[in-house]
């Protein structure tokens, strides 16, 4: 059994499914849903939110970060409701930085025993099988990583 499970979430169906798997299969574990605001990514790092450059705050501005935090909070509130539906509770965290590095660093510094994450690519033709963030986490994390697809 895993004591502390980290579920990186970006709002995509696979990240939501990863959380459901954690809740269903590890109901006795401490589960943390982690959202990373990646300022190098276009948009706000939340899947399904269309970033319209003509109406959104300037990328990297204070207003951009405020909007990214707002969307992260909405996402994590929804995931907390999902946990409630499973009669469970989760811890939610938001960090800023490059997603793969922040996920591994968070796991290392918070005694995470197991990472459960969606395995999808969100862009281009690079790393289509896993997704570049998923691939980097899977190879760099010193703990068990389960990929959901």
Q: Nearest-5° angle of CA 140, CA 12, CA 23?
A: 75
Residue 125 has pLDDT above 70, yes or no: no
β partners of residue 33: 7, 92
Round to whole Å and give the CA distance between 139 and 112. Answer: 16
The per-residue pLDDT for 127 is: 41
> What residues does each domain of the chain span?
4-37+71-148
Structure tokens at 148: 């959901």
- To the question of domain 4-37+71-148 being in CATH 1.10.10.10, the answer is no
- Express each pLDDT in 24-81 by its tens digit: 999 899 999 999 999 887 677 788 776 666 667 777 789 889 989 999 999 999 999 9
- Express each pLDDT in 79-103 by its tens digit: 999 999 999 999 999 999 999 999 9
Query: Of 89, 76, 84, 71, whose CA–CA distance to 8 is shortest?
Result: 76
HSE of 47 in the Cβ direction (CA atoms, 13 Å)? 15
The DSSP-derived string for 27-86 is TTSEEEEEEEE-TTSSTTS-TT----TTTSPPTTSHHHHHHHHHHHHHHHHHHHHHHHHT
The per-residue pLDDT for 54 is: 66
- 8 A C-beta contact, residue 147 and residue 118: yes
> 3-state class of 133 per DSSP?
helix
């Amino acid at each position: 059994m895993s004591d502390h499970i980290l579920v990186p979430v970006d709002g995509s169906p696979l990240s939501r499914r990863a959380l459901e798997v954690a809740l269903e299969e590890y109901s006795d574990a401490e589960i943390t849903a982690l959202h990373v605001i990646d300022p190098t990514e276009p948009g706000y790092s939340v899947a399904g939110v269309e970033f319209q450059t003509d109406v959104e705050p300037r990328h990297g501005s204070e207003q951009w970060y405020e909007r990214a935090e707002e969307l992260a909070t909405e996402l994590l509130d929804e995931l907390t409701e999902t946990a409630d539906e499973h009669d469970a509770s989760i811890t939610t965290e938001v960090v800023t930085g490059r997603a793969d590095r922040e996920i591994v660093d968070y796991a290392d510094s918070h005694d995470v025993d197991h990472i459960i994450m969606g395995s999808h690519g969100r862009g281009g033709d690079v790393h289509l099988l896993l997704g570049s963030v998923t691939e980097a986490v899977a190879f760099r994390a010193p703990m068990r990583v389960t990929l959901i697809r």
